[in-house]
Amino acid sequence: MKITHALRGVQRLGVETSPFIYLLENIPIYADKVQAVFDIVETTHILMCSSAITLTEALMKPIKAGDKALTEAYRQLLTRTNSIQLIAVTPILADKAAHLRAQYNLRTPDALHIATAIEARCDAFLTNDVRLGRVKELRVMVLDELEIDPA
């Protein structure tokens, strides 16, 4: 499916950690695709919502490696970008995640990401984990299934 078609009608997009990593670390197979998504998000004023655990997951490796520039790049992107909203894990959200985890046999971080998107009233959720497609409460968009629109 073309990215523009997948994002049609989306006003709020839940995003888990991996697309941010693909973009900032310029992962060759995905960076262009994620950049295309972010370009459309910016031009169509879609709000991206992500769990605050995204910051934890994204910062771990650069902090461990002592990569201060990448650490700061993640902080800038995730906490100072107007189109990205990080949402705190609250007891209500944790309870919703527990239900999703039990229903779909999700890992805790995945359940928290999905619960965040649902609670934030996102229209869709961007991931590259095809296993999350089994969640029925939200339209899941898998990067591997998206195609960049021709220029």
Residue 71 lies in a domain: yes
The pTM of the full predicted model, rounded to 2 decimals, is 0.95
Average pLDDT value over all residues in the chain: 96
Question: Is 114's pLDDT higher than 90?
Answer: yes
Reported as a pLDDT band with limits 50, 70 and 90, residue 90 is very high
Residue 103 lies in a domain: yes
User: Can you tell me the mean pLDDT for 3-16?
Assistant: 97
Residue 151 lies in a domain: no
Domain hosting 63: range is 3-145
Question: Is 151's pLDDT higher than 80?
Answer: no
Residue 150 lies in a domain: no
Closest CA to 87 of 4, 2, 16, 9: 16
* Rounded Cα distance, 32 and 92, in Å: 36
* Rounded Cα distance, 35 and 117, in Å: 21
Residue 110 lies in a domain: yes
Q: Are 149 and 2 in contact (CB under 8 A)?
A: yes
Report percent pLDDT > 70 for the chain. 99
**Phi-psi sector, 119: left (phi>0), alpha (psi -120 to 50), beta:** alpha
Locate 113 and state its tokens. 């990401």
Q: How many domains does the chain have?
A: 1
Angle at 39 between CA 51 and CA 75, to 5 degrees: 40
CATH number at residue 120: 3.40.50.1010
Which tens digits make up the pLDDT trace of 59-89? 999 999 999 999 999 999 999 999 999 999 9
Which tens digits make up the pLDDT trace of 29-61? 999 999 999 999 999 999 999 999 999 999 999
* 3-state DSSP assignment of residue 103: helix
